[in-house]
């Protein structure tokens, strides 16, 4: 249920309703909007009549059920878009945000060269993997904490915040110590123990869609994070598994408008994993911007032919720079900035 407060409700009025909601056995989440404050009552809705009685209070405008299975990330709770500030970089606003960098951190030279080049081309957030989930246990698994240190070093040198993946609940504190955005990869989208753990963190969480995850399941995963108190969630469409073999995955661009209709959370697109081949990344990037994506996540490597992972889908720096020029034009044509 959501309790919509009157426009003139004071902080004391809001606190009063929160206490009443908690007394009824619900968890209360206060969401402050431009015109109204909404309090979400989270818990077993069988006793909803007690919550409905709060409508009799002078400072309460209405009490309404939340119809979607996901609550905190739905438009029912928050009508306006959520904008997430990452060290001054705002994701979800008018300006399109591009995250770029290598799939895996391999060396200081590789990360420095790639980081400098994507910064020069217009990327605002550095991406790179320190812990790498791989299909084969014999493949390169990442540089772990040493990789995090290199990401932090290049991040500080370039002035770009960085995003990196965490795979294990036991490593959340370690990754949180270094990263500006913590990524939950496709394979862990329904690792609920991990989602709860990152939900306790205060840093933004980038939640990738799973290989076979429906949009509602994806939003329910976001709900796990929000329900723990972290409301800074960025959704990332990165392709789903279908019968098609021409590309690595099937990039579901229709998910962008669908999610934006259902949720207030920002949505970015990863065309690198979505297609698996560098030659399709440009086309899908431009299509994603036209479809309303709030940002892009693109793999860039200074020597993709020597990459430890995902070389075939990585752009060379010069191709990334050319792509950014086209991204700006498409963004402007649909009323965005880049």
Strand order in the sheet with 27-32: 27-32, 37-42, 2-5, 60-64
Which residues partner with 60 through β-bridges? Answer: 5
Q: 238 and 176 in one domain?
A: yes
Total domains in the fold of the chain: 2
Give whole-number Cα distances, 153 to 108, 112, 150, 328, in Å.
Answer: 9, 9, 5, 29
pLDDT tens, 139-171? 555 688 999 999 999 999 999 999 999 999 999
Average pLDDT over the chain, rounded to whole?
93
* pLDDT value at residue 65: 84
Pick 137 or 310 by higher pLDDT.
310
74 part of a folded domain: no
Residue 197 pLDDT greater than 60, yes or no: yes
The H or E element spanning position 28 is strand 27-32
Count of residues making up the chain: 338
304, part of any domain: yes
Question: Comparing 100 with 65, which gets the higher pLDDT?
Answer: 100
Q: Are residues 50 and 101 in the same domain?
A: no
Checking if the pLDDT of 17 tops 60, the result is: yes
Instruction: Flag whether 75 is in a domain.
Output: no
pLDDT of 143: 81
**Residue 283 CB coordination number (10 Å):** 13
Q: Is a pLDDT exceeding 90 seen at residue 100?
A: yes
Here the tokens at position 138 are 């014999």
The per-residue pLDDT for 313 is 94
Q: Is the pLDDT of residue 45 over 90?
A: no
Neighbouring C-beta atoms of residue 317, cutoff 10 Å? 19
For position 27, which CATH number holds? 3.30.70.1140
Angle 15-83-125 (CA atoms, 0-180°, nearest 5)? Answer: 135
- Per the structure, the complete domain to which residue 270 belongs is given by 84-333
* Residue 71 resides in a domain: no
Alpha-carbon span 73 to 33, nearest angstrom: 14
H/E segment holding residue 164: strand 162-165
Write out the two tokens for 155. Answer: 């991040």
């Amino acid at each position: 249920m959501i309790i919509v407060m009157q426009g003139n409700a004071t902080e004391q009025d809001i606190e009063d309703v929160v206490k009443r909601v908690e007394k009824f056995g619900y968890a209360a989440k206060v969401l402050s909007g431009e015109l109204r404050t909404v309090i979400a009552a989270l818990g077993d809705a069988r006793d909803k009549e007690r919550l409905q009685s709060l409508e009799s209070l002078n400072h309460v405008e209405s009490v309404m059920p939340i119809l979607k299975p996901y609550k905190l990330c739905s438009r029912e709770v928050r009508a306006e878009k959520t904008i997430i500030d990452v060290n001054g970089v705002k994701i979800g606003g008018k300006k399109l945000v591009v995250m770029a960098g290598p799939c895996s951190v391999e060396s200081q030279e590789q990360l420095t060269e790639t980081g400098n080049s994507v910064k020069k081309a217009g990327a605002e957030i550095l991406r790179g993997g320190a812990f790498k989930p791989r299909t084969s246990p014999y493949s390169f698994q990442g540089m772990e904490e040493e990789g995090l240190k290199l990401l932090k070093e290049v991040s500080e040198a370039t002035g770009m915040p960085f995003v990196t993946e965490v795979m294990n609940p036991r490593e959340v504190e370690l990754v949180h110590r270094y990263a500006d955005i913590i990524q939950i990869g496709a394979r862990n989208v329904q690792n609920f123990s991990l989602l709860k753990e990152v939900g306790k963190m205060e840093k933004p969480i980038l939640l990738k869609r799973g290989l076979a995850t429906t949009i509602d399941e994806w939003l329910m995963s976001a709900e796990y994070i929000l329900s723990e108190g972290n409301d800074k969630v960025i959704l990332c469409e990165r392709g789903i598994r279908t019968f098609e073999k021409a590309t690595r995955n099937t990039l579901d661009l229709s998910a962008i408008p669908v999610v934006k209709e259902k949720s207030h959370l920002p949505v970015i697109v990863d065309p690198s994993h979505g297609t698996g081949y560098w030659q399709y990344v440009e086309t899908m990037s431009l299509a994603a911007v036209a479809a309303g994506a709030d940002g892009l996540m693109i793999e860039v490597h200074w020597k993709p032919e020597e990459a430890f992972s995902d070389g075939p889908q990585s752009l060379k720096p010069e191709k990334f720079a050319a792509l950014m020029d086209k991204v700006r034009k498409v963004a402007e044509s649909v009323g965005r900035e880049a």
